[in-house]
A and B are shown apart, each in its own frame.
Chain A
Amino acid sequence: MEFFAQQFINGLTLGSIYGLIAIGYTMVFGIIGMVNFAHGDVFMLSAFIALIFFLILTTWLGMTSVALVFLIVLVLAMVLTSLWGWAVERVAYRPLRGSFRLAPLISAIGVSIFLSNFVQVVQGARNKPVPPLVNDAFVLYRHEDYVVTLSYKQAIIMATTALLLAGFWYLVQKTSFGRAQRACEQDRRMAALLGINVDRTISLTFVLGAALAAVAGTLYLLYYGVVSFSDGFVPGVKAFTAAVLGGIGSLPGAVIGGLIIGLIETFWSAYFSIEYKDVAAFLILIVVLIFKPSGILGRPDVEKV
């Protein structure tokens, strides 16, 4: 039982990171009906940006306040990654809008390969570590030898995810930007007739998706303490699976999907075999696509584009 509880907490943490990445997939798919395959690599890139600033702030500038370092790194990673997200959309996707449907998809795969190779060339192929910053943990339950803990890192990750989901939900449902975004999702031509700058709305969607990926990347680095250039692809595809599972186009769906994928992966590793954890995650993708393509919270009316 203690083992189960501990794995549950670990699974939720991993799932929160997947959920944050999945929001980026789901928003972009919602608005232009395209799977942004480069999103996983944008996530990886943001972890590297976070890594660089961690090292600058702690090693070079000798800052010691962990909370302050974390906040500065987070903000810088969000800003710089957003710029990447914006540039990718501008360079690789916008010129292809109105082209045949597969064109931006192929372009996205190209961007994905470019980003991971770019990072490999400039940062090297080895795993890059950061010194552990936060090591404390809440002890939730103690039974003889076995302790169930919730580390500060895990708490930060879950709280950040919950907070961002609430914030984004509010943004999309209640603000004029969110309304414009949903209008572009449903009928881009009509949105333009009502004075909405469609290109700008799409750009902002990419920027927001990238900013969330940057939060996920920073948290990922904080949690695992290490990142490599190849870390974009698999988490990216799992987050995409999460978005499909939750119902693509739905923000809460993305996070719920992420949590489920994280839990399945963790439990599979804990109880069966860690080598096959990715197989378990992707099996879910296949099962969902066959039996409930619209996902848990998805709309059944898939009349996209």
Chain B
Amino acid sequence: MSVAGINVLVEETRAAQARAATPLLSIRGVSTYYGNIRALKGVDLDVNEGEIVALIGANGAGKSTLMMTIFGDPRAREGTINYAGRDITRLPTHEIARLNLAQSPEGRRIFSRMSVRENLQMGAAVNGGRHFAEDLERVCTLFPRLKERLDQRGGTMSGGEQQMLAIARALMSRPRLLLLDEPSLGLAPLIVKQIFSTVKELNQRDGLTVFIVEQNAYHALKLAHRGYVMVTGSITMSGTGQALLDDPQVKAAYLEGGNH
């Protein structure tokens, strides 16, 4: 092999290494404001391909704001957000949504006057109706409850069913990265367990990358490979899920007497 050939090989290997090392989602120094109130104060956070990353923190810490800031609504005033090697900080929300990342937002935001099927069709809107039947089949296998209720109006379903629908709707776009905001909120423990095990299955079987925001710190850290702790708009701690679970500070603030 010639020297030039070897050089090309070396270059290619380096590029591959760089690709592997670049996180799928990379947030650097992001600050978001509501009027003059600084809701996020220079947040740094990475989500690598294939990981489940959990963000825990108290009510009002800014977790959901971060989720929405990733989608440009509200827009980050400082810092950058990179997704799949592309700067998405200034992209309009609907264009971010077309980049294979999907969100099941805080409060589920089901279209209550649409049927379950129509909600799922909305989730598939970015694909323009391609492979809809196949994707519908797939999410109905994950959440059999939805299959029975395809023609029911979204607003008439129970909280747990709405949460399943919100996740299913996000999955309809065939995302590479799924953002889950408080999927356990207001749900019975059994349903929470079911939803978390589905997320785990999606991650292990399909290699779906998941970024999850939770108040339910114990379950979230159990599920996640890595976790971050957010306090009033700043990341104060990070580590593997287990390390955070064992950390005395995390234990005191989020786990002792918690809802696990």
Closest to B121 in A: A179
* Chain B residues whose CB sits within 8 angstroms of the CB of A62 once the complex forms: none
With A196-B94, A197-B94 already in contact, the answer to whether A189 and B111 are too (CB < 8 A) is no
CA distance A287 to B225 in the complex (A): 63
> Which of B94, B109, B125 has the most C-beta atoms of chain A within 10 angstroms of its own C-beta?
B94
Main secondary structure of the interface of A (DSSP, over half): helix
CB distance from A97 to the nearest CB of B (A): 14
CB distance from B239 to the nearest CB of A (A): 30
Is A180 engaged at the interface, CB distance under 8 Å to the other chain?
Answer: yes
With A190-B111, A193-B71 already in contact, the answer to whether A176 and B97 are too (CB < 8 A) is no
Indicate if the CB atoms of A194 and B123 lie closer than 8 Å: yes
User: For residues 175 through 212 of chain A, which have their beta carbon under 8 Å from a beta carbon of chain B?
Assistant: 176, 179-180, 182-183, 186-187, 189-198
Residue from the list A183, A195, A197 in contact with B111, Cβ < 8 A: A183
Mark interface residues in A206-221 (1 if CB within 8 Å of B CB, else 0). 0000000000000000
The interface stretch among B15-23, B112-120, B216-224, B249-257 is B112-120
* Chain B residues whose CB sits within 8 angstroms of the CB of A189 once the complex forms: 73, 109
Is A101 engaged at the interface, CB distance under 8 Å to the other chain?
Answer: no
Mark interface residues in B88-113 (1 if CB within 8 Å of A CB, else 0). 00001111011000010100010111
Residue from the list A179, A186, A190, A299 in contact with B105, Cβ < 8 A: A190
CB distance from B102 to the nearest CB of A (A): 8
Indicate if the CB atoms of A194 and B126 lie closer than 8 Å: yes
CB distance from A250 to the nearest CB of B (A): 12
CA distance A180 to B109 in the complex (A): 15
* Chain B residues whose CB sits within 8 angstroms of the CB of A180 once the complex forms: 122, 125
Main secondary structure of the interface of B (DSSP, over half): loop
* Chain B residues whose CB sits within 8 angstroms of the CB of A197 once the complex forms: 92, 94
CA distance A187 to B169 in the complex (A): 15
> Which of B71, B109, B118, B122 has the most C-beta atoms of chain A within 10 angstroms of its own C-beta?
B122
User: For residues 38 through 94 of chain B, which have their beta carbon under 8 Å from a beta carbon of chain A?
Assistant: 71, 73, 92-94
CA distance A64 to B10 in the complex (A): 79
Is B32 engaged at the interface, CB distance under 8 Å to the other chain?
Answer: no
Residues of B bordering A, CB below 8 Å: 71, 73, 92-95, 97-98, 103, 105, 109, 111-114, 118, 121-123, 125-126, 128-129, 169, 173
14 sampled A-B residue pairs with Cβ under 8 A: A176-B121, A176-B125, A179-B122, A183-B111, A186-B112, A190-B105, A192-B97, A193-B105, A194-B97, A194-B123, A194-B126, A195-B95, A195-B126, A195-B173
5 closest Cβ contacts across the A-B interface? A195-B97, A195-B126, A192-B93, A190-B109, A195-B98
